[in-house]
């Protein structure tokens, strides 16, 4: 084991029930700071439900989802915070939030969790540039003095807008979309839309970026380019990533840590190597009983 | 020539369809128009036939059908082919358009006085002021429907609140019009927020139904709360705007006497025209600014994808409330200006058809387009007013023909034609609020691809 890395996200006993259906059952895991944590599993395993709980789109039936950025010693206050009934503890040098207590927009605005969607959700009629500017709403709203100063056209607001455009320009370069900046987002090819959605999420200045199947519908060379892009983001920015992905080439290449879900239950948790050789994982993916796994393994030559 | 060979069967087909149309029209209009029952002097019902009229109508319909098949349909097909190509879109209006329009609206009342003389009141009031008030209403609703994408069928409620604020506060506390104008806007915005709170969770059809109900509630309260609103009788004798304290009347303290002018009933509409114009120009500037601000972009993003908005940390509740409040504010202003114009307000002026009319202006103008909505207001309100001036048709159809009865029919036809010609409204393009390199307008069709 390498030196312990402080976590960014700590999920404990997360359960999500929809009526009688248990989509996620008693899930606990930790995502390390600065790492890429992958959440994999067969279709219907509950991965997107976990995402929706973390990002506040669902209110979990049970469990605690704690996110912390900045000073690590804030983790010591986790229990006190839970007792207090408040949703977060903010200090000058960092913050600790209980995401299950926050509505979706605050999870993004305060707790700095950004996400992308399985079926891409851009603003199709707005330009590529506008998509990236809307993502900087929080900063610009504050700079515009909740519209008052902005309406008067003060210099401070114009500077803030200029900075926002510069940030957008940076991400346009990173995604290779500079030439398409003034085109409507819906006119981009599929791969471009996917990169734009990631760039838009990054424009919110997140501490944790949640990517829901970013490689869906990409061909092998595009998948490889996406892996490089995600690695570059992690290298250049202080951001941790949580990744749902079916494309194992991407998962195995960039993930530091893999969690496997099946029917809402965690069946494996470890490095790529550990997970790849876990009989339970193989069984879940190939759909056989545990006893038959050795036979299957022999067949596929592991 | 292959073209001719293709054209001939087309022509034959067109003739055949024209014959079918004529037959259908004949069958339909024979009982409706061909026969007429008249009471004679002895109170007997006499059946009359109107063959010439029937034949004329059938001929007109057949002719229109033929024209459509031979001329319009190929043109439309050509246009559809052309628009499916990646055409370069016209980006902005020509640079001279804006100054020309501003110049025209500035001198419009003077032109009217020059041409129509003492009859100019109608042109300034019914056309000028009324159209400008509807422009204001259209822009207000455009914030809610066009920008934020929240379908509001009860917008006239805010117009009513503005108007009644003016009427009631003006009568009760004797406030001047200049105090009442901002008050009307602020109170309407307040009610916009109040309405906003319960309906924020709703979207689309559900929201439309609730806003429709809100509009009706306001109207019914105005009718039934007789102690305060005087019910259906309405409130008259409302404070009219003064010129820095000088009323527009023939008294020695009046505007004309004090300024040493000869009294003219045109002074008041003339002054009011410029007041309304000033409010409209100010509104245009404010809405233009709002669109460029984070709140405006959040509205448009909200229209495009609400879930994505929330994932980016935008408080969609606040954005919707802001949209409702700003839209209602301009509706309230329009209501106040309406009372200034009429000097009288009754629940009759704020029924659902007004909401529908304002919504028609927004849809016809092109959702979200400030210029388009202004054009639509001019076309619709100006058009319906012009249709009052159809006296000349009597020379064609005979003295007993009453053109006023056909006004709404023609209005309906015109709306259908406009929507067939421009399904996305007059200006179906969206101007980006920000550009990196090159300004390109965005065709409204693109917005719906992922909706």
pLDDT in tens, B83-131: 654 444 444 567 777 788 888 888 888 888 778 777 777 788 888 899 9
d(CA A259, CA A21): 22
> What pLDDT sits at residue B328?
94
Cα Rg of chain B (Å, integer): 26
Please check whether the domain covering A1-112+206-302 is classified as CATH 3.40.50.150: no
Annotated domain spans of chain B: 2-83, 99-370
Q: Where in chain A is the domain with CATH 3.40.50.300?
A: 1-112+206-302, 119-205
Tell me if chain B has a CB within 8 Å of the CB of A169.
yes
> Residue A123: phi, psi to the nearest 5?
-95, 95
| Candidate CATH numbers 3.40.50.300, 3.60.9.10, 1.20.120.160, 3.40.1710.10; the one for domain A119-205 | 3.40.50.300
Q: Which of A31, A17, A13 is nearest to A208 (CA)?
A: A31
> What pLDDT sits at residue B270?
85
Average pLDDT of B439-446? 64
Interface test with A, best of B294, B310, B439 (most A CBs within 10 A): B294
* Six token digits for residue A275: 């997970």
In the DSSP assignment, the letter for residue B144 is: I
Q: Do A127 and B294 touch (CB under 8 A)?
A: no
Q: Do B294 and A141 touch (CB under 8 A)?
A: yes
Using an 8 Å Cβ cutoff, are A65 and A105 in contact? no
Q: Do A129 and B434 touch (CB under 8 A)?
A: yes
Question: Minimal Cα distance from A126: which residue of B?
Answer: B432
Interface test with B, best of A103, A111, A137 (most B CBs within 10 A): A137
> Does B3 score more than 70 pLDDT?
no
Using an 8 Å Cβ cutoff, are A107 and A113 in contact? yes
> Does A208 score more than 90 pLDDT?
yes
More confident residue, B121 or A266: A266
Using an 8 Å Cβ cutoff, are A172 and A181 in contact? yes
Residue B241, min C-alpha distance to chain A (Å):
28
Burial of B259 (C-beta count, 10 Å sphere; 0-12/13-18/19+): exposed
> What pLDDT sits at residue B283?
93
Chain B contacts of A168, Cβ < 8 Å? 436
> What pLDDT sits at residue B87?
41
Question: Minimal Cα distance from B86: which residue of A?
Answer: A187
Residue B302, min C-alpha distance to chain A (Å):
9
The CB density around residue A44, as the number of other CB atoms within 10 Å, is: 13
> What pLDDT sits at residue B69?
85
d(CA B100, CA B53): 45
d(CA A118, CA A244): 9
> Does B345 score more than 90 pLDDT?
no
Chain A contacts of B287, Cβ < 8 Å? none
> What pLDDT sits at residue B451?
36
- Collapsed DSSP state (helix, strand, coil) of residue B36: strand
For A33-109, where are the E strands, in sequence order? 36-40, 62-70, 88-91, 94-98
pLDDT band at B449 (very low <50, low <70, confident <90, very high): very low
- For B237, residues 6+ apart whose C-beta sits below 8 A from its C-beta are B171, B343, B344
More confident residue, A240 or B76: A240
Q: What is the pTM of this model?
A: 0.81
Segment holding B447, helix H or strand E: helix B444-448
**pLDDT tens per residue, range B388-427:** 776 676 777 766 777 667 777 877 888 888 888 877 778 8
Question: Minimal Cα distance from B304: which residue of A?
Answer: A123
Using an 8 Å Cβ cutoff, are A88 and A81 in contact? yes
Angle at B139 between CA B137 and CA B140, to 5 degrees: 65
More confident residue, B243 or A39: A39
> What pLDDT sits at residue A132?
93
Interface test with A, best of B91, B295, B436 (most A CBs within 10 A): B436
Percent of chain B residues topping a pLDDT of 90:
23
């Amino acid at each position: 084991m390498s030196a312990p890395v402080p976590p960014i996200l700590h999920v404990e006993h997360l359960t999500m029930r929809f009526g009688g259906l248990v989509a996620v059952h008693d899930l606990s895991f930790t995502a390390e700071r600065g790492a890429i944590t992958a959440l994999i599993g067969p279709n219907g395993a509950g991965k997107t439900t976990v995402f929706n709980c973390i990002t506040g789109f669902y209110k979990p039936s049970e469990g605690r989802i704690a996110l912390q950025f900045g000073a690590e010693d804030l983790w010591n206050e986790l229990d006190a915070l839970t007792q207090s009934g408040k949703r977060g503890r903010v200090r000058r040098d960092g913050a600790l939030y209980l995401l299950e207590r926050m509505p979706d927009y605050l999870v993004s605005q305060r707790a700095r969790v950004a996400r992308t969607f399985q079926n891409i959700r851009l603003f199709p009629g707005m330009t590529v540039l506008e998509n990236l500017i809307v993502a900087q709403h929080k900063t610009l709203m504050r700079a515009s003095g909740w519209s008052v100063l902005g309406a008067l056209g003060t210099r401070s607001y114009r500077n803030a807008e200029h900075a926002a455009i510069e940030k957008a320009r940076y991400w346009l370069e990173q995604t290779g979309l500079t030439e398409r900046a003034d085109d409507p987002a819906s006119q981009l090819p599929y791969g471009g839309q996917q990169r734009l959605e990631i760039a838009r999420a990054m424009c919110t200045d997140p501490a944790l970026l949640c990517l829901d199947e970013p490689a869906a519908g990409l061909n092998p060379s595009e998948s490889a380019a996406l892996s490089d892009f995600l690695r570059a983001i992690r290298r250049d920015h202080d951001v941790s990533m949580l990744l749902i992905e079916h494309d194992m080439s991407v998962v195995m290449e960039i993930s530091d840590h893999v969690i496997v879900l099946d029917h809402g239950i965690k069946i494996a948790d470890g490095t790529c190597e550990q997970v790849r050789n876990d009989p339970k994982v193989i069984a879940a993916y190939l759909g056989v009983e545990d006893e038959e796994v050795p036979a299957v393994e022999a067949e596929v030559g592991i | 020539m292959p073209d001719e060979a293709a054209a001939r069967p087309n022509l034959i087909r067109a003739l055949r369809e024209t014959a079918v149309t004529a037959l259908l029209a004949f069958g339909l209009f024979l009982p409706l128009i061909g026969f007429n029952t008249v009471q004679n002097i002895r109170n007997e019902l006499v059946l009359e036939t109107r063959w010439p009229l029937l034949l004329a109508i059938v001929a007109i319909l057949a002719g229109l059908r033929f024209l459509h098949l031979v001329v319009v349909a190929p043109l439309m097909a050509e246009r559809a082919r052309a628009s499916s190509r990646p055409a370069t879109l016209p980006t902005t209006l020509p640079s001279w358009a804006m100054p020309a329009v501003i110049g025209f609206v500035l001198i419009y009342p003077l032109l009217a006085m020059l041409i129509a003389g003492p009859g100019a009141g109608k042109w300034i009031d019914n056309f000028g002021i009324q159209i400008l008030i509807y422009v204001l209403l259209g822009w207000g609703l455009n914030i809610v429907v066009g920008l934020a994408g929240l379908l509001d069928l009860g917008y006239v409620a805010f117009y009513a609140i503005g108007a009644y604020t003016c009427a009631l506060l003006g009568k009760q506390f004797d406030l001047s019009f200049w105090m009442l104008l901002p008050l009307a806007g602020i109170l309407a915005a307040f009610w916009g927020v109040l309405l906003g709170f319960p309906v924020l969770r709703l979207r689309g059809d559900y929201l439309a139904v609730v806003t429709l109900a809100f509009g009706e509630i306001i109207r019914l309260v105005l009718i039934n709360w007789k102690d305060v609103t005087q019910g259906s009788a309405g409130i008259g004798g409302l404070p009219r705007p003064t010129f820095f304290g000088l009323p527009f009347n023939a008294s020695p303290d009046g505007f004309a006497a004090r300024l040493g002018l000869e009294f003219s009933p045109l002074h008041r509409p003339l002054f009011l025209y410029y007041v309304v114009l000033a409010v409209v120009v100010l509104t245009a500037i404010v809405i233009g600014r709002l669109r460029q601000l984070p709140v405006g972009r959040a509205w448009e993003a909200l229209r495009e994808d609400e879930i994505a908005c929330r994932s980016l940390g935008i408080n969609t509740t606040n954005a919707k409330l802001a949209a409702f409040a700003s839209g209602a504010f301009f509706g309230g202003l329009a209501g106040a200006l309406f009372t200034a114009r009429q000097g009288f307000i009754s629940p009759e002026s704020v029924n659902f058809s007004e909401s529908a009319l304002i919504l028609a202006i927004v849809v016809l103008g092109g959702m979200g387009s400030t210029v388009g909505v202004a054009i639509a207001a001019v076309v619709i309100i100006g058009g319906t007013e012009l249709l009052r001036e159809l006296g000349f048709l009597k020379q064609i159809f005979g003295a007993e023909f009453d053109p006023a009865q056909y006004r709404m029919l023609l209005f309906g036809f015109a709306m259908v034609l406009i929507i067939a010609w421009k399904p996305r409204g007059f200006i179906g393009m969206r101007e980006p609020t920000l550009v990196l390199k090159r300004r390109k307008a965005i065709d409204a069709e693109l917005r719906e691809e992922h909706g």
